Amino acid sequence: MVELVKAIILGVVQGFTEFLPVSSSGHLLVFRNLFDLSEAGLFLDTMLHFGTLVAVLVVFWQDILEMIKKPFSRLSLLVIAATIPTAIIGLAFKDIFEELAVSGITVGWEFIATGTILWIADSLKNKGTKNIDNISFKDALVVGALQGVAILPAISRSGLTIAGAFFQGIDRNTAARFSFLVSIPAIMGAVVLQGVDLLKGKPEMIGTIPLVAGTLVAAITGYIAVKWMLNIISRGSLKVFSIYVWILGSIIIVLQFLDKF
């Protein structure tokens, strides 16, 4: 029962924070510390990422189907272009990112950095005019590079890709759509890399029921988060997320100073 409750809580955390601009990896790191989950946490993380992958596939199935049918369409090539710098950065600095994730020493400051970037990006949200037809491959590379930087444990992937789109003059609706589409290969890559790490080690297994429950919860809450975030980007403000991660980051820094985290 305890494992089931933990899995469900982590599923909710992963599902919402993967697509809201507050960093899922940072939140999972915090909750793993709270729940004292190490290797079991990595195994569960992999399945939770799979759950959120299912969520974004369901929301954007029409775009995905169109890209499969037309692999050399402009949208397909833009997503591929954005994925290249993400993959290069992720693979080149994988060991450094993993070390920072394990130590958690920079997590508080990364949350604060995420909030600052979101605040700046929010001021540009109404200035973009580019749609899919107007996005250049340079724009896609910038978004992809920022997504690569977001592999840092408490830097938000969705936050940085949306911010990158705004920085490049992309309109709000297109920024949201493009951000989620480029997340698909990134999340797939995370699942594959975590799977490889699991095969190399001997992780403590978590029960089948908690594992399935956590994955399903991550998929359901991820679907809700994507829909919610699409609405926020098109009509609302990102500043509330800035305030949230600033508060969270500050609390973590204080706890680290007191040797409590």
Global pTM? Answer: 0.89
The predicted-structure confidence for 119-144, as pLDDT tens digits, reads as follows 999 998 888 899 999 999 999 999 99
- Residue 204 binned pLDDT confidence (cut-offs 50, 70, 90): low
SS (HEC) of the chain: CHHHHHHHHHHHHHHHHHHCCCCHHHHHHHHHHHHCCCHHHHHHHHHHHHHHHHHHHHHCHHHHHHHHHCCCCHHHHHHHHHHHHHHHHHHHCHHHHHHHHHHCCCHHHHHHHHHHHHHHHHCCCCCCCECCCCCCHHHHHHHHHHHHHCCCCCCCHHHHHHHHHHHCCECHHHHHHHHHHHHHHHHHHHHHHHHHHHHHCCCCCCCHHHHHHHHHHHHHHHHHHHHHHHHHHHHCCCHHHHHHHHHHHHHHHHHHHCCCC
Whole-number pLDDT of residue 228 = 94
**Is 259 a residue whose pLDDT tops 70?**
yes
The predicted-structure confidence for 182-203, as pLDDT tens digits, reads as follows 999 999 988 887 777 767 765 5
Whole-number pLDDT of residue 244 = 97
Whole-number pLDDT of residue 100 = 79
- Residue 238 binned pLDDT confidence (cut-offs 50, 70, 90): very high
- Residue 234 binned pLDDT confidence (cut-offs 50, 70, 90): confident
The predicted-structure confidence for 18-41, as pLDDT tens digits, reads as follows 999 999 888 888 877 776 655 455
The predicted-structure confidence for 55-99, as pLDDT tens digits, reads as follows 999 999 999 999 999 999 999 999 999 999 999 998 888 888 878
**Is 101 a residue whose pLDDT tops 80?**
no
Length of the chain in residues, anyone? Answer: 261
